[in-house]
Chains A and B, each alone.
Chain A
Amino acid sequence: MTDRPDRFVDDAPFDPTASALDLERADLDAPGWVLVWRKFRTHKLGLISGLFIAFSYIMLPFWGFVAPYGPNERNEEYLYASPQKIRLFHEGEFIGPFIYPVTAEANLTTFQWEFVPDTDNPAPLRWFCEGTPYKLAGFIPSDTHLFCPAEGTTVFVWGSDRLGRDVFSRILYGAQLSLTVGLIGILVSFSLGIFFGSIAGYFGGGIDWVINRVIEILRSLPELPLWLALSAAVPSNWGPVAVFFIISIILGILDWPGLARSVRAKFLSLREEEYVRAAEMMGAKPGRVIGRHLLPNFASHLIASATLSIPAMILGETALSFLGLGLRAPAVSWGVMLNDAQNLASIEIYPWTALPMVPIIVVVLAFNFLGDGLRDSLDPYQD
């Protein structure tokens, strides 16, 4: 702020015949999404995050293929096995990806299992091999995995948990629930938020007052205790799928007021525009004015704010499951997995049980960067 900008000097050669308006016009005539995309493209962090998120969601149905084990497959011989490294070089010689097979030995002074690698017999990984059956995309039965350990050995890339389940495979399977919970939650929150926000902003008056009070009350309440209370109300005999849906709906129900508030504020100003009056003059019903004329006006803002509220839902699911009030085993989500890492002992002795926090942090960061990038590029005319 103290160092003032230097005088701007364009180093391109000056062409007196070129019209100053040419380039500008082409830019201004481009449709909105081209301008937004052009600006978004320069936002490197947002772009990379967007690609990463798209990749994560596209891969969701196929994680069963990548994971070497099933989500609830137990290996009784390998409880709390430490992570095994996939190596390429055995005694200085390249023999492709392999692992050193480990055997569990009980340490009678610490009362822990210790895993002793057998460094003489490298066991190369098998590719496209047969393993635990699973359903590709939820309905195509298959038992081909991308990679498996050699016969009689194990491959716990990120260790195994207290029941000997592979943490790596579980993280991949957990993504399916943890990432979709946010999507369903945002769907619920959006329908409620847009519905209440738009009728409050469009009609005003008494409806507006009531909805506004409800929004204020809901926003002033701490979310987590209410989430806890609502999830505690879910009957314990419901199946995992029902619980999953109800949890995402609960997450959505308490999230809508923020959105409704911004929708309402936007509607209050847009309602006075000429094109709205024109539409009304031509006899358009309120539903049509809202849906066809007003909402498309700031659909892009809605998308940006959706991107920014999904991470809150992912974190919410994690917190609920972590406390044992969200998803329950046998469902696998990152929060359910972290439930195992609840005490200091596991953090100290088996730090890999806390590994699901890495994908959580990465995904939440990616959503935040993407949302920020989108928000910045929504106004293509502003610098």
Chain B
Amino acid sequence: MSTLRYALYRMMTMVLTLLVVSVLVFAIINLPPGDYLSNQINELRATGQSAGVAKAEFLRREYSLDQPLWKQYMIWVGFLPGPNGFSGLLQGDWGWSFEFERPVADIVGDSLWLTVVVNLAAVLFIYAVALPLGMLAAAKSRSWIDYTAALVAYLGLATPNFLLALILFYYGHKYFNLPIGGLMDPIFEGQPLTWDKLQSILVHLIVPTFVIGTSGASAMTQRLRANMLDELGKPYVETAIAKGLSERRMLVKYPLRVAFNPFVADIGNLLPSMVSGSVLVSVVLGLQTIGPTLLTALKTQDQFLSGFILMFVALLTLIGTMISDILLVMLDPRIRYEGRES
């Protein structure tokens, strides 16, 4: 019951946070002087193309960009009805991309779930690597496993993501014949999901997952190792050994259980940097996620497109953080009871 209440509470804070984030995003997008349409209008005027000007002026009115800023914001989010049927984010109308001359929903469509897939794969990768590696590093601390893990962790933190991506792509292609660029074979693009398409996506995911996950996995491994080492020094471990429990059973049954909580909670801290990483890596590797689109949109001041993508990225991290918080409460009775008392 209390878990449910906590989940509700977290949902509410998430909605409030999103509201603040939307103000922030809107402010940042409107920071640069000028906007796409007025730049375009100026350019068209200078070259004397009046037909284009009329179209741009029409778009301006259609999306109420001639209104004062606060009104623009309200209309964009959907608190106020737009003058000409533009209903705003809340009602699923994400606006018009001036650069691509198509609705935002059309442009981002497929790339939204591919973004989710890439990030999900990275999270799974982090857990799959960090859990055994962190445990081993702690159980065999000050052995070559421990030192190798530490070395990999340091290198993973110090190498810029995008370079790692390029280098892995190059060598992955050269030695393992991994595909270069993209998230699927071009022939599958726009096709319905089939087994072949799924396979193609999986093969293409290997390098990006590795690149995005490396720094997170190394941070996680070190964290788990530290937590485990703390637990291993405690008397109950000695008791377990004295009882004659086999080493593996003892490790998994007691210290891992305790060290596991911060491990779950940490994914919430890691998510923002992972999503950041996935945007950067997507740009470099040409993945069909929203990363490259975001970069173009920001460079051309295509405000509805960049605004929507920034909001989506924020939503993705917030949902991830919320899930990890709720999982933590379900996993750790101590947190549950503390919440109840206060």
**Interface residues in chain A, defined as those with a beta carbon under 8 Å from any beta carbon in chain B:** 1-2, 216-217, 219-226, 228-230, 232-235, 311, 315, 318-319, 322-325, 338, 341-342, 344, 347-348, 354, 357, 360-361, 364-365, 368-369
Contact = CB atoms under 8 A, between A and B. Distances in A.
A222 B272 contact: yes
Contact of A233 (B25, B28, B163, B321): B28
A233 B272 contact: no
Contacts of A221: 21, 24, 272, 314, 317
Q: List the 9 shortest-distance A-B pairs measured between CB atoms, nearest first.
A: A224-B276, A233-B31, A364-B158, A232-B298, A222-B275, A233-B32, A222-B276, A222-B272, A229-B28
Nearest to A320: B280
B181 to A, nearest CB: 8
B276 A225 contact: yes
Contacts of B305: none
B260 interface: no
A220 B32 contact: no
B149 interface: no
A352 B97 CA distance: 40
A341 B167 CA distance: 11
7 contacts: A2-B241, A222-B272, A230-B28, A315-B160, A341-B163, A347-B170, A357-B163
A6 to B, nearest CB: 16
Given A1-B237, A225-B276, A347-B170, A357 B17 contact: no
A160 to B, nearest CB: 20
Interface in B142-160: 154-155, 157-160
A338 to B, nearest CB: 7
A1 B32 contact: no
Given A224-B276, A357-B159, A361-B159, A344 B310 contact: no
Given A1-B139, A220-B321, A225 B313 contact: yes
Contacts of A325: 295, 298-299
Given A1-B232, A233-B28, A225 B294 contact: yes
Interface in B1-60: 17, 20-21, 24-25, 28-29, 31-33
Given A233-B31, A344-B170, A344-B180, A223 B276 contact: yes
B152 to A, nearest CB: 13
A365 B150 CA distance: 12
B277 interface: yes
A219 B160 contact: no
A225 B310 contact: yes
Nearest to A258: B269
A71 B31 CA distance: 33
Nearest to B162: A322
Interface in B216-262: 232-233, 237, 241, 247
Looking at A232, A235, A311, A338, which has the most chain B CB atoms within 10 Å of its CB? A232
Interface string B283-299: 11000000000110011
B321 A319 contact: no
A236 B280 CA distance: 22
The dominant DSSP class at the B interface is helix
B87 interface: no
Given A220-B272, A229-B298, 18 more contacts: A2-B241, A220-B317, A220-B321, A221-B272, A221-B317, A222-B271, A225-B294, A225-B309, A225-B313, A226-B28, A228-B279, A229-B310, A232-B32, A234-B32, A315-B160, A323-B280, A324-B299, A368-B158
B199 interface: no
Interface string B156-180: 0111111100110110000000001
B67 interface: no
A344 B165 CA distance: 10
A46 B212 CA distance: 28
A319 B295 CA distance: 13
A44 B280 CA distance: 35
Nearest to B285: A344
A349 to B, nearest CB: 11
B64 interface: no
Nearest to A324: B299
A4 to B, nearest CB: 9
A224 B241 contact: no
Interface string B92-121: 000000000000000000000000000000
Nearest to B167: A347
B83 to A, nearest CB: 27
Interface-centre pick from B154, B180, B276, B309 (highest chain A CB count, 10 A) = B276
Contacts of A365: 154-155, 158
A217 B21 contact: yes
Nearest to B241: A2
A319 B273 CA distance: 13
Given A217-B17, A223-B273, A357-B160, A341 B280 contact: no
A48 to B, nearest CB: 14
B68 to A, nearest CB: 20
Nearest to A362: B158
Nearest to A372: B154
A323 B283 contact: yes
A225 B294 CA distance: 8
Contact of B272 (A223, A228, A360): A223
Nearest to A1: B232
B214 interface: no
A220 B294 contact: no
A337 B89 CA distance: 40
